[in-house]
Every structure is written in structure tokens, then in C-alpha cells.
Chain A
């Protein structure tokens, strides 16, 4: 019993669990919006698009996070812009912008070799996060969450029906820029906790799981955030025992929850759908079925 509580006795574990939960919740909030617009892969793309920003920041002596954020924001706005100006679909646009940014990053890095710790960017290392980085991540997450809590209804309207949003006087382009700014900030924060490979899971899985559970957007947000924050907290906790990378544990948890929902969700789960179809056949009189 004491064994199970031991992570709570270490400051670094407490810090890791709370910071993870905060980042997980923030990313999950954004995931609900991204999933609905077919932008799910944007999170993944952004995580790679920050590379030139990081390399550039090292080169110029900027803080790592600032470079990453600027590159991520440029990439996100670039994607949204190309999408709005052409008939290309979301996945194509993401592919285009993502590869060009990644290539630029590799180019900069190869011209000016820098000692970026690739391991920590790809895998993240929340258990060893410095106080300074932790504060940075906490500030980013809190600000992002705060703005989302105030603006989520406006953002929902823009994502659901841009024409109507415009016609009631909302500043649609301003809101889009705001959203992509928050997304870039959250991705940079997530990079430091779960690493680039797994940012994608943070901004896809919670929203996808919640989508199978409800038809109401506010509830979807609440469920997604609960899953994101909960799995991140527990993931960090478990990684103490498993001695594995936090990101891997965390995303495995999210996937398990998704699978359970996929099969057992009361309304949209595979089993429920089957059961309803079967019940309908039994309930319909034979004569109706034949006609």
C-alpha cells in the first residue's frame, strides 16, 4: 500500500503528474475542435514543424520555446491559409506545409550542427523537467485554457458554420488566428512532456473518444478534457513504477479508453449499434419486413 503512494512523496513526481495533467487537459480541449474540422493530423504536423524554429532559436540564442512557438504558429496559419485559398483538402495541405517546414529544419540543422537533445524532443521527458521549463509549461497551459474557457462557444460557431458566425458579426479570421495560436502554444508545451511522436495522440484520442460518447459539444469538451487530464496524470504516476517513457504509458492508457468506448459506448459503440439493429428486426412484424 505504502508502495503505491510513494510517487506522491517525491517532489519531482508530483510536479510531473500535475504538469502532465494540465498539458493533457489543454491538448484534449483543442483536440475536440481539431477532430471536427478534419484537422486532426495538424497537431502531429505542428510537432514536426517546430524543428526549424528550434534549430533557428539555438542559432540565434533565443529561448527554445519561443522559436518552436513561432515556427508552429507560422505553419498552422500557413495551413489554414492554403486551405482557404485553394480547393486542396486538409490532409494534402498538412502534408505540404509539414514537409516544407521539416525540410527547412533539417537544412538549418545540417548547416549549423547544434547540440539539440533529439531524445528529449522526440520522447519528451516530463520526469526530469526542470523547474524553469515546468513553470513555462504551466503558464502556457493556464493561459490557453483560460482563453478557451471564455471563447469556446465562439470557436464552436466558427468551426460549425462560418457563414453564420460571420453574419452575426463575429470576427471569424481573428478567431481562427487565435485558435491556431493557442494550438501552437499547446503543442510546444506538449512537446516537452510527451515528445513529438505522441503529441498527435494528445490532440486526437481524447476528442475522438468523447465524440463516441455524446452529441452535445459542451459535454464532448468536458469528457475530452477529463480523459486528457486523467490519463496524463495516471500515465505520469504509472511511469514511476514501469520505468518507461511517460509518453508511451500515457498514450497506451488513452488508447485503452478509446477501445473500451469503441466497443461499449451506450449509443455509438459497436455493440450498442448491433444490439439496436437486432432489436429493430425483432420488433418489426414479419409482414413489414417482407413488403
Chain B
């Protein structure tokens, strides 16, 4: 998105060799009402990467985000962002976070562009006066999510998907080394979704680390190079090719996924022994091609092997 990330870092407090990393070790979270949302969750991410976070409703994805941000205190375990505590990383403006649902006052007298500018506050000086660079970042971010035409709308005068895009733009403008997106694609149209995915890929190339929760299982192999599967703990974490397998998904989703398996004459007239398995939790389905024996095999990218 920009090559000026390093130079805009506040007060030069960040050493240039700082690279993106996220480590979650043995984290447990229990809510005040006694709900045990996570136990012994661990995974490590490093460098420019897009990591998908998948699991059923209530599996603890949002809780994991909140724990990483320090908004819920873990009962056990530790979290490090770029080698720092979450609070220290936030103070250095290393983390951008877009929650699943924004808890803001939609009638607040701020315009779309004002909201996106808030992403830059952490980098501004004492009086929080925007520099030309800050303005440029805001323009760029608005362009990227296709909301430039709405920049002078009051924030409440937008549709649900448009609101999501504005808050995504704010995270982009913030230009954090680590970007946490809790279900950015929910309620967003297909066109916007693929635009956002393109954007994430560019950020990855620039060395940003992204953790993105989603229910669109079908697009996970498309844009995530790593996945973390959660079910009250981290069931599996690692490269998509070896982690996003049918067996792991079945474990993570239990009976929740709808499972279609087509083979033999239901699928083809000839003697082809291959089969198709479709797993869906009602968003985009994920499709596995192969025989039963290959259940643990690495997932082939959609399209790599014709049907």
C-alpha cells in the first residue's frame, strides 16, 4: 500500500529490524459468568502472512482476538506481538484491529473520512494534527475499500456493509504491522470481498501479518497461507496445505458442517474412482476432491485438479 511505513512510525521508537510475529502460548480465557471460552490455546505466526481463523459459532475466535488485544485478561498463558506485550505493541502502533461488530455510537457527529483519520491518531504528535502523509493514507484507504464517494457522509448514514468497509479502511490507514480482522467478509458483497482479499495479499507481500477469522471455508485455501482451527482451544495450526484438511475440519466443526459426498455414478458415468466432498457451514462451501483413503491428504487448491 505504501512504502513509507517505516518512516511514519512514531518518534522512531520502532527499531527497523522489527518483524511481524504473533505468539500465543497456552492461553486460557474464562468470562466472568463462568464460560470457559478458551483453554490452552497455542500457535505461532511470523513474517508476512495471512492466517485464517476458523471454527464454529462460539468456538472462541472473537475471544482469541480480544485476548490478543488485551481486552480480556487471559487466566493463563502469554501473548507476544512482535516480541512485545500486547499493551507495548499497541503503544507503538503495531496492531490494527477490526472487531466483529463495532460498538460505536452511529449518531456521533463524525464523517466517514473523520473515522478513517482516527486510524492515524496514534501516529500523530501531541496535538494530533494530521500531516499531509496522514491525509494521503486516509485517501488511499478510502479508495481501496471503494468508499471514497461517501467520505463526507455522517457515519450512521451508511448501509451495514458500507460501515464495515469504513472500519476496514481505518485499519488500513493505521498501517499496523499486525492486522487482526474478525469476520471482515460477513455482510460484505462478493465483489468487495475479492477486492479486500487482493488488498490483504498486497499487505502480505509488504511484510504485514494478518489474522482473519471467517466462515467462508471455501475461500480460505484461496487467500490464507496459514490456518488456525479453533474449538475452545487451538485444534490445529500451520500451513493451509497441511492443516486445512478434511479430517481437521470435521474435528473442528463436528456435526455442524453440512457434508455432501459425491462419487461413483452420482458424479460420473465412466470408471473414474475420484469423488467430491463438499463441506459447508452455509457460507461458501469447501470442496475436496479424492477418494476416501485420501482424507488426511493435503488439500489441493480449488482448480488445481479438474473435476
In the complex, A156→B95 CA distance in Å?
21
Question: B101-109, B139-147, B212-220, B252-260: which one contacts chain A?
Answer: B101-109
Is B30 in contact with chain A by the CB < 8 A criterion?
A: no
Selected from B71, B109, B126, B128, the residue in CB contact (under 8 A) with A163 is: B71
**Is the CB–CB distance between B90 and A169 below 8 Å?**
yes
Complex CA distance for A159 and B70, rounded to whole angstroms: 19
A273 in the interface, Cβ–Cβ < 8 Å?
no
From known contacts A154-B128, A160-B104, infer whether A169 and B91 are also in contact, taking CB-CB under 8 Å.
yes
- Contact of A278 with B by CB under 8 A: no
A214→B91 CA distance, assembly (Å): 33
A215 to B92, CA, bound (A): 31
State how many angstroms separate the Cβ of B303 from the closest Cβ of chain A.
37
Q: Is A168 part of the binding interface, using a Cβ–Cβ cutoff of 8 Å?
A: yes
- Which A residues lie within 8 Å of B93 (CB)? 168-169
Q: With the chains together, A170 CA to B96 CA distance in Å? A: 13
Q: Which residues of A contact B104 (CB under 8 A)?
A: 160-161
Contact B97 A163 (CB under 8 A): yes
Kindly state whether residue A150 has any CB partner on chain B within 8 Å.
Answer: yes
User: Does A69 belong to the interface (CB within 8 Å)?
Assistant: no
How near does chain A come to B113, taking the closest CB pair, in angstroms?
A: 10
Question: Cα distance A211–B114 when bound, in Å?
Answer: 16
Within 8 A of B (CB), among A217-256: 217, 220
Check if B105 sits within 8 Å of A36, measured CB to CB.
Answer: yes
Judge if A216 is at the interface, Cβ distance under 8 Å.
Answer: yes
Q: Which of A159, A214, A216 has the most chain B CB within a 10 Å cutoff?
A: A216
Q: Identify which of A160, A164, A170, A220 gathers the most chain B CB atoms within 10 Å of its CB.
A: A164
Of B87, B99, B108, B128, the residue contacting A153 (CB under 8 A) is: B128
For residue B154, CB closer than 8 A to chain A, the reply is yes
> Which A residue sits closest to B174, measured CB to CB?
A168
Question: Size class of B's contact patch?
Answer: 20 to 34
Decide: B121 and A153 in contact? CB cutoff 8 A.
yes
B95 touches A167 (CB 8 A): yes
User: Once bound together, how far apart are the Cα atoms of A215 and B112, in whole Å?
Assistant: 10
B66-108 interface code vs A (CB 8 A; 1 in, 0 out): 0001110000000000000001001111011101001111001
Is the pair A216, B90 in contact by a Cβ cutoff of 8 Å?
no
Within 8 A of B (CB), among A183-226: 211, 214-217, 220
* Interface residue? B197 (CB, 8 A): no
Can you list, as one digit per residue, whether each of B45-70 has a CB less than 8 Å from chain A (1) or not (0)? Answer: 00000000000000000000000011
Q: Which of A168, A170, A216 contacts B114 (CB 8 A)?
A: A216
CB contacts (< 8 Å) of B126 on chain A: these are: 150
Is B199 close to A, CB under 8 A?
A: no
**Interface residues in A12-49 (C-beta closer than 8 Å to B):** 36-37
Establish whether residues B97 and A216, one from each chain, have CB atoms under 8 Å apart when the complex forms: no
The answer on a CB contact under 8 Å between B97 and A169 is no
From B70, B105, B110, residue with most partner A Cβ within 10 Å: B110
Interface status of A138 (Cβ within 8 A of chain B):
no
Tell me if B127 is interfacial: C-beta within 8 Å of chain A.
yes
Q: Cα distance A211–B127 when bound, in Å?
A: 24
Alpha-carbon distance A211/B97, docked complex (angstroms): 30
B90 A167 Cβ-Cβ under 8 A: yes
Please tell me if the beta carbons of B90 and A166 are within 8 angstroms of each other in the complex. yes
A157 at the interface (CB under 8 A from B): yes
For B71, what are the chain A residues with a Cβ–Cβ distance below 8 Å?
A: 163, 166
Known: A216-B111, A217-B110. A168 touches B154 (CB 8 A): no
Report 17 cross-chain contacts, Cβ distance below 8 Å, ordered by A residue. Answer: A36-B109, A153-B128, A160-B110, A163-B71, A166-B71, A167-B96, A167-B97, A168-B122, A168-B174, A169-B91, A169-B92, A211-B109, A214-B109, A215-B109, A215-B110, A216-B110, A216-B111
Pairs of residues from A and B, 6 with the lowest C-beta to C-beta distance, nearest first: A168-B122, A169-B91, A153-B128, A169-B90, A215-B154, A161-B104
